[in-house]
A and B are shown apart, each in its own frame.
Chain A
């Protein structure tokens, strides 16, 4: 389940979580982030909370954060579309410094994506005023810490897109 063919080792992401004392990951899996599943679910310091539908993740994360737990949400870009009203009514309205880790389905480094999920992803984040960063390989993983600090400094949600290309 965990490969690092795309140059991104799940342990680099876990290391960032640990550095930032993240204790909870609210997650609905997808192909783009499947490579992290084993590592995240078997780490004893990280509690993974699986959900049935992505819109739950934002509200669960808000409850966990209010309860003092440092929490990250991990969903596919399609799941972000599913979560629109929760992003609006909870993450944005409460000014939650919440990290949204997003599997970037359809992302291509060169050329033009044929997947509307990818086409709309950045438009969608722009329209909410949510800043985002792209992670492709281990050398980008430090952007997670950067994104978390900016979320906290600005009291607002922030996104990190996980770009993995499929041939």
Chain B
């Protein structure tokens, strides 16, 4: 199951093969990784992938420590590190050139932590990364790529609020 948030939300929706299992967190900035943690703890046999934003990570930095402490083997934490708040127009994220997210993850207890600056490197490691025991953190240094969505396009984006009613009994006992 995948929990995308912010810009990854739209990117993921373009490629997702099981949108019915996606949990796109549109508001609630910073909490995608926390929701993914809860799901990973509840369903240890389900692989949970969260695709975070750099600004979102900074808003909930303690999440690294909370996840590291629980250390769910089935959790993969990806970050779209574009250096900006792309969703709100591309304003710079504070400290973006100094902050080392992968180091935060590592020192918080993730089983492995990586950063990629080149797509080819990421692609050649992807199988290993996604089959490794978690929690795995993968920081993707990506270029800012602003969306210019109309209000209607924004409203049509997938969202957890829309998906949730159909999902809430997925694992009901």
- Within the complex, which residue of A51, A61, A64, A66 is in contact with B66, where a contact is CB–CB below 8 Å? A51
The residues in A between 48 and 89 inclusive whose CB is less than 8 angstroms from any CB of B are 49-53, 55-56, 58-69, 71, 85-86, 88-89
Q: Is B60 within 8 A of A68, CB to CB?
A: no
Contact status A67-B171, CB under 8 Å: yes
Known: A68-B42, A68-B43. A49 touches B70 (CB 8 A): yes
**Shortest beta-carbon distance, B31 to chain A, in Å?**
4
Contact of B27 with A by CB under 8 A:
yes
A93 in the interface, Cβ–Cβ < 8 Å?
Answer: yes
Check A66 against B168 for contact (C-beta < 8 Å). yes
Shortest Cβ distance from residue A18 to the other chain B in the assembled complex, whole angstroms: 16
> With contacts A66-B168, A66-B170, A90-B31 known, is A59 near B38, CB below 8 A?
yes
Instruction: Confirm or deny: A94 has a beta carbon within 8 angstroms of a beta carbon on chain B.
Output: yes
**A56-B31, A67-B41, A85-B27 are known contacts. Are A94 and B69 too (CB-CB below 8 A)?**
no
Q: Which residues of A contact B30 (CB under 8 A)?
A: 55
- Judged by a CB distance under 8 angstroms, whether B40 is at the interface is yes
| A50→B66 CA distance, assembly (Å) | 7
A50 in contact with B28 given A59-B34, A63-B35 (CB within 8 Å): no
Q: How large is the interface on A (under 10, 10 to 19, 20 to 34, 35 or more residues)?
A: 20 to 34
Interface SS of chain B: helix, strand, loop or mixed?
helix
Q: Tell me the complex Cα distance, A49–B38, Å.
A: 9
CB distance from B6 to the nearest CB of A (A): 13
Q: Are B66 and A52 in contact, CB atoms less than 8 angstroms apart?
A: yes
| Pairwise interchain contact B62-A51, C-beta atoms closer than 8 A | yes
> Given A90-B28, A93-B161, A94-B160, do A52 and B39 touch, yes or no (CB 8 Å)?
no
Q: For residue A24, which residues in chain B have a CB less than 8 angstroms away from its CB? A: 41-42
Given contacts A63-B42, A64-B41, A67-B39, contact A56 B34 (CB under 8 A): yes
Compute the total of residue contacts between A and B using a CB distance below 8 Å: 103
How many whole Å from A79's CB to the nearest CB in chain B?
A: 13
Q: Are A60 and B35 in contact (CB under 8 A)?
A: yes
Q: Which B residues from 32 to 48 make CB contacts under 8 A with A?
A: 32, 34-43, 46
* Cα(A64)–Cα(B72), bound, Å: 13
A62 contact set on B, CB distance < 8 A: 35, 38
A86-B28 in contact given A56-B63, A66-B171 (Cβ < 8 Å) = yes
Question: In the complex, which residues of chain A have a beta carbon less than 8 angstroms from the beta carbon of B123?
Answer: none
Task: Report if A55-B171 is in contact (Cβ < 8 Å); known contacts: A68-B42, A86-B28.
Answer: no
Additional A-B contacts beyond A24-B42, A85-B29 (16; CB < 8 A): A26-B38, A47-B41, A49-B66, A50-B66, A52-B65, A55-B31, A63-B35, A63-B38, A64-B38, A66-B42, A66-B171, A67-B38, A67-B42, A68-B173, A86-B28, A90-B31
Interface residues of B (CB under 8 A from A): 23, 27-32, 34-43, 46, 60, 62-63, 65-66, 69-70, 160-161, 164, 167-168, 170-173
Q: Which residues of A contact B (CB under 8 A)?
A: 24, 26, 47, 49-53, 55-56, 58-69, 71, 85-86, 88-90, 93-94
Subset of 13 A-B contacts with CB under 8 Å: A50-B66, A51-B62, A52-B65, A55-B34, A60-B34, A60-B41, A62-B35, A63-B35, A63-B37, A67-B46, A68-B172, A85-B28, A89-B28
